[in-house]
Amino acid sequence: MKLKLKIWRQKNTQDKGNFKAYDVDDISPDMSFLEMIDVLNEQLETKGEEPVHFDHDCREGICGMCSMHINGRPHGPQQGVTTCQLHMRSFSDGDTITIEPWRAQGFPVLRDLMVDRSAFDRIIQAGGYVSVNTGGTPDANEIPIPKSIADEAFNAATCIGCGACVAACKNASASLFVSAKISQLALLPQGQVERKERAEKMIAQMDAEGFGACTNTGACSAECPKGISLSNIARMNREFLTAKASSDNA
C-alpha cells in the first residue's frame, strides 16, 4: 500500500506547529497503525530528519498511552479499538490520512502528537480511590456482591484513561472518564463510605482542569475503545446532585 500522511508537527508546547505531508509506501495491511508510523520514522531518521513523536507503550490496547486523532476521529475509523490495535487493513491504497494530537485545553501538546494528560491523574487524586491502608482489610469474601453489580462496576472500571472521550467530545468534556471511576466505586459496597465526598471532589477537579460540559451527544461512548456506557454519566450526575443536596460539606 502507498499512503499520503498529513501529520501535525509541533516542536514543543510553545511552538505554533503545522501540518507536514509525508509519503510512505510498501505498507502491509497486516501492520498496525503505529508500525506504519515506525516505518515512516525509520525513513525520517535515516535521512537525518526528526522522527514523529507520539505516545505509545503496550501496543495491545490496554495502557491507554496511544492517542492519535486520525482522519477526524480519535483512534481512527474503527470503533472499540485504540490506535495501536488499528491495523492498516482498515485503509486503502492511495488514501490520505490526517493525523492530529488530541485537542483540549486540559491536554496541552508536548510535542507533535504527544499531549499531557496529567489532568486525569489529578482528577483521580481528588478522590478516585477507597481510603484503605494496606493491611487489616476484611476477608475478600466477607461482603458478597451481586454478580450483576460486580460486572457493571467492572464495565466502568475498564477505562484505560486514554482521553479519547475528551478528544471526541465537541466540548472537550471529560465526563465519561470521570463518571467511569465514580460509577465503579459508587456501585461497589467498598466505595460507599466516601461516595458523596468523592463525587463532589472529582467533579470539582474536572471543572478546574478546564474540561467542557457534557451535552449528551454520545460521541465519547461511541469512540471509547472500551465502550464505556453513557449510563455512567447519568449515574455521575445523580451522585453529584445527591451529594450536593445531602453531604456535610456546606
Partner 1 sequence: MLDSKVPEGPLSEKWTRHKFNVKLVNPANKRKYDVIVVGTGLAGASASATLAELGYNVKAFCFQDSPRRAHSIAAQGGINAAKNYQNDGDSIYRLFYDTIKGGDYRSREANVHRLAEVSVNIIDQCVAQGVPFAREYGGLLANRSFGGAQVSRTFYARGQTGQQLLLGAYSALSRQVANGKVQMFPRTEMLDLVTVNGEAKGIVTRNLVTGKIESHSAHAVVLATGGYGNVFFLSTNAMGSNVTAAWRAHKKGAFFANPSFTQIHPTCIPVSGDHQSKLTLMSESLRNDGRVWVPKAKDEKRKPEDIPEDERDYYLERKYPAFGNLVPRDVASRNAKYVCDEGRGVGATKLAVYLDFADAIRRDGRDTIEAKYGNLFDMYRQITGENPYETPMKIFPAVHYTMGGLWVDYNLQTTVPGLYATGESNFSDHGANRLGASALMQGLADGYFVLPYTIGDYLAGSSYEKISTDHEAFKEAENNAKAHLDRLLNINGTKTVDHYHRELGKIMWDYCGMSRTEEGLKKAKNMVKELRDEFWTNVKVIGTADELNLSLEKANRVSDFLELGELMIDDALMRNESCGGHFREEYQTPEGEALRDDENFAFVGAWEYQGPNNPEKLNKEELKFENVKLTQRSYK
Partner 2 sequence: MNWFVATFSSTIGRKVMMSITGLFLIIFLVGHVSGNFLLFKNDGGQAFNEYALFMTTNPIVKILSIITYVAILGHVAVSIILQIHNRKARPVNYAVANPSANSPWNSRNMGILGTFILIFIVIHMQNFWYQMQFGEMPMVNYGDGVEYKNLYLIVAEAFSVWWYVAIYVFSMIMLGIHLSHGFQSAFQTLGINHKKYTPFIKKLGLAFSILVPAAFASIPIYMFFL
Nearer to partner 2, 71 or 190 (CB): 71
126, 202 Cβ separation under 8 angstroms: yes
Task: Rule CB under 8 A: choose which of 48, 72, 135, 136 binds partner 2.
Answer: 72
In the complex, minimum distance from the CB of residue 133 to partner 2, in angstroms, rounded to a whole number: 30
Q: What is the residue type of 245?
A: A
- By CB under 8 A, name the one of 35, 73, 218, 237 that touches partner 1: 35
Within residues 175-194, the interface with partner 1 by CB under 8 A covers 184-185, 188, 190-191
Question: H helices within 28-158, ranges in order?
Answer: 33-46, 118-125, 147-157
Report the alpha-carbon distance of residue 154 to residue 180 in Å, rounded: 10
- CB nearer to partner 2: pick between 7 and 27: 7
Residues 8, 10, 12, CA angle at the centre, nearest 5°?
Answer: 150
Q: Residue 229 carries which side chain, given as an amino acid letter?
A: S
Q: How far is CA 153 from the centre of its chain?
A: 18
Binding flags for partner 2, 213-232, as an x/- string (CB under 8 A): xxxxxxx--xx------xx-
Which residue of 43, 90, 190, 237 would you call a contact of partner 2, by CB under 8 A?
Answer: 237
3-state DSSP assignment of residue 110: strand
x/- map, 159-178, partner 2, by CB under 8 A:
---------x-xxxx-----
30 binding partner 1? (CB under 8 A): yes
Give CA angle at 152 (145, 150), nearest 5°: 20
- Binding flag, residue 115, partner 2 (CB under 8 A): no
Question: What's the CA gap between 71 and 57, in Å, rounded?
Answer: 22
Euclidean distance between CA atoms 194 and 14, whole angstroms: 40
> With respect to partner 2, which residue has the nearer C-beta, 85 or 175?
175
Nearer residue to partner 2 within complex by CB, 59 or 204: 204
108 binds partner 1 (CB under 8 A): no
Q: Is the dihedral of CA 127, 128, 133, 137 positive or negative?
A: positive
Name the binder of 63 from partner 2, partner 1, none, CB < 5-8 A by kind. partner 1
72 binds partner 1 (CB under 8 A): no
User: Does 31 contact partner 1 by CB under 8 A?
Assistant: yes
Does 122 interact with partner 2 (rule: CB under 8 A)? no
Secondary structure (3-state) at 42: helix
In 10 A of CB 72, how many CB atoms? 9
Does position 121 bind partner 1 by CB under 8 A?
yes
Q: Which residues contact 69 (CB under 8 A, 6 or more apart)?
A: 99, 100, 101, 102, 103, 167
> Would you tell me which residues interact with partner 2 (CB under 8 A)?
6, 8, 19, 69, 71-73, 77, 98, 100, 103-106, 168, 170-173, 203-204, 206-207, 210-219, 222-223, 230-231, 233-241, 244, 249-250
